[in-house]
Copies of this chain bind each other. A is one copy, B any other.
Amino acid sequence: MILGGGFGGLWAAKALARAPVQITLLDRRNHHLFQPLLYQVATAALNPGDIAYPIRAILTKQKNARVLLGEARGIVPAERKVMLDDGELTYDYLIVATGATHSYFGKDAWAPVAPGLKSVEDALEIRRRVFLAYEAAEREHDDAAQRAWLTFVVVGAGATGVELAGALGEIGLHTLARDFRRIDPTQVKVLLVEGRDRVLNTYPPKLSDAAQRSLEKRKVEVRVNAMVTAVDPEGVELTYAEGRTERVATRTILWAAGVQGSPLARSLAVPLDRAGRVNVEPDLTVPGHPEIFVVGDLAAATSNGQPVPGVAQGAMQGGNHAAAMIKADLAGKPRAPFRYKDKGSMATIGRTSAVVVIGRAQHHGFLAWLFWWVIHIFYVIGFRNRLSVILSWAWQWLTFRRDVRLITGPVGQLPPVRDIGPEGTPLLPPAAETIRTAE
């Protein structure tokens, strides 16, 4: 039985296609999500449907697999059972691939103010907030309040944070540049806050520098050695390593920091690391339970003494390894430790800009971006999605446009239009006397 239809769980299921087993894949969503491109949904470049694919459709031809929609609430290893809200399932082997989310470092009350980016709903919520901020700014007449609507704070300068910040800058600089009448969207300010001393700290320093320069061209101000020490709907407080604090007025805070393992891990009753991830054995199993594998972001795994990074590649390879170990058991062969093969890592900052590391090779700039583009297209599941993503990107690249800008969900409280009453001043500059207004 497999818990989770992300890269780890899905790759495990596919690797077991010809094994003499019956697979149940349980996921609380009906779709696999291509999470590396989720920030593009949040920033209106792609439709949710472009990067989400029904798990059933992926496994429809794999006759030894069934897919079940539901959420695992707990695991009882002693009884080989998975508890659901409304029932339980038994297993011979279990592959836990329920992933991780961002961590608010104990301040979970910040979550509603500073949403993270893990699900389609998260992405649509962020999209809603970003584009509503411009609408609110257009209505707002107080300069400081308007400035706060046009200020976006991204917390955490890993790949997701860098990609979000770069895209937010481009939305103001290009996408919306001419769409408003009172505000100038190119005056957007994006703050990228990072607790360590540079952006993309898992990359070589040279690439961090390149990424920062590239971000700064997109109106992103990078604040390193800075911790978020307070969050509220009107702004954020930063405390720098040297002790100084700074208050930034903003109406839009996005969270891309920290790692927090799925709460399901706690029911395994084994030691977890500080981030709530399972300290797995070399073969990715839970200590004392060779029939339970943990793969992907939920596993604190090592390979050749190095921690396996929480990226899609790590999950896919982990899923494949778990499947291989089950097949080895069935064939009466010995288990082997997991060996992570680093195929490189990459992050994109925006149009024509990315950083790429493959082995010792380091690249940044246009060619790196082209490479990023090809790799991501290659991995987007489903031919139709692939075509749609290529089309969207090509169109966006040629025109600077982002067309998936619809705001759905509640509009909430916008600044009042108090100044457009009969006694107020018109929003537009007064028309020349010869022009009869039809407003």
Chain A interface residue count, CB cutoff 8 Å, equals 92
Given contacts A56-B180, A120-B408, A439-B92, contact A84 B135 (CB under 8 A): no
The interface residues of chain B lying within 8 Å CB-to-CB of A361 are: none
Tell me whether A88 and B438 are in contact (CB under 8 A).
no
Contacts of A438 in B (CB 8 A): 1, 16, 19, 21-23, 91-93, 326
From B66, B71, B124, A428 is in contact (CB under 8 Å) with B66
Please state if B439 and A124 are interface contacts (CB–CB under 8 Å). Answer: no
Query: Is A416 in contact with B49, judged by CB distance below 8 angstroms?
Result: no
* Residues of B close to A384: CB separation below 8 A: 391-392, 395, 399, 401, 403
The answer, among B181, B391, B401, B428, for a CB contact under 8 Å with A57, is B401
Q: How many copies does the complex hold?
A: 2
* A199, B87: Cα distance in complex, Å: 44
A192 to chain B, nearest CB (A): 26
Which residues of B have CB within 8 Å of A60?
178-179
| Alpha-carbon distance between A257 and B407 when the two chains are bound, in angstroms | 27
Say yes or no: is A282 at the interface (Cβ < 8 Å to chain B). Answer: no
* A427 pairs with B69, CB closer than 8 A: no
Residues of B within 8 A of A391 (CB): 384, 387-388, 391
Kindly list chain B residues whose C-beta atoms are within 8 Å of the C-beta of A24: 427, 439
**CB-CB under 8 A for A417 and B86, given A92-B439, A401-B384, A431-B22:** yes
Q: Can you list 22 residue pairs at the A/B interface with Cβ under 8 Å?
A: A16-B438, A21-B435, A28-B411, A30-B405, A31-B405, A47-B49, A52-B406, A54-B179, A54-B405, A54-B406, A60-B178, A69-B411, A70-B414, A71-B411, A86-B417, A88-B421, A88-B422, A90-B420, A120-B408, A124-B408, A384-B391, A388-B388
